[in-house]
Structure 1
Amino acid sequence: MMTLTYVSIRQLSKRYGVHASTVWRWRKSRGFPEPYLFSPQCARWKLAEIEAWEAAAALRLGG
């Protein structure tokens, strides 16, 4: 059985070296994956979806 790993906005901000608001903005401007809302104050992203987005972005940039 595969375990799902979720990451927080704080973890994503640190991963990319950007402010949290930038990550939220990327949803519209760069097709960043949508978060899963576990409560009004708890948004998380599936790590597998983040990694797929990174791979697709690398291909678009020729990497």
Structure 2
Amino acid sequence: MNHLLIIRPSQLARELGVSMTTLWRWRHQGVFPQPILLGPRLVGWERSVINQWLESKKKMEVSL
């Protein structure tokens, strides 16, 4: 059985070393993956999506 690992915004902000405001700004600017809706006022990101986003950022830095 395949389980999704979900990361909540506060944990994600800590791991990335940014504020919650920065996370939401990136999201609205389209430079960050959109979260999935977990409830009426509850969102999170799939760990695999965040890992892919981080890898793509690393590749962009290398190519610069």
TM-score if structure 1 supplies the norm length? 0.86
Number of aligned pairs?
A: 63
Q: 1:56 & 1:11 partners in 2: Cα distance? A: 21
Displacement of 1:21 in angstroms is 1.1
**Residue 58 (1) aligns with residue 58 (2):** yes
User: Structure 1 stretches of 5 or more lacking a match?
Assistant: none
1:18 paired residue number: 18
TM-score if structure 2 supplies the norm length? 0.85
What value does the CA root-mean-square deviation take over the aligned residues?
1.6
Identity of aligned residues (%): 30
One-letter amino acid of the structure 2 residue matched with residue 56 of structure 1: S
User: Structure 2 stretches of 5 or more lacking a match?
Assistant: none
One-letter amino acid of the structure 2 residue matched with residue 10 of structure 1: S
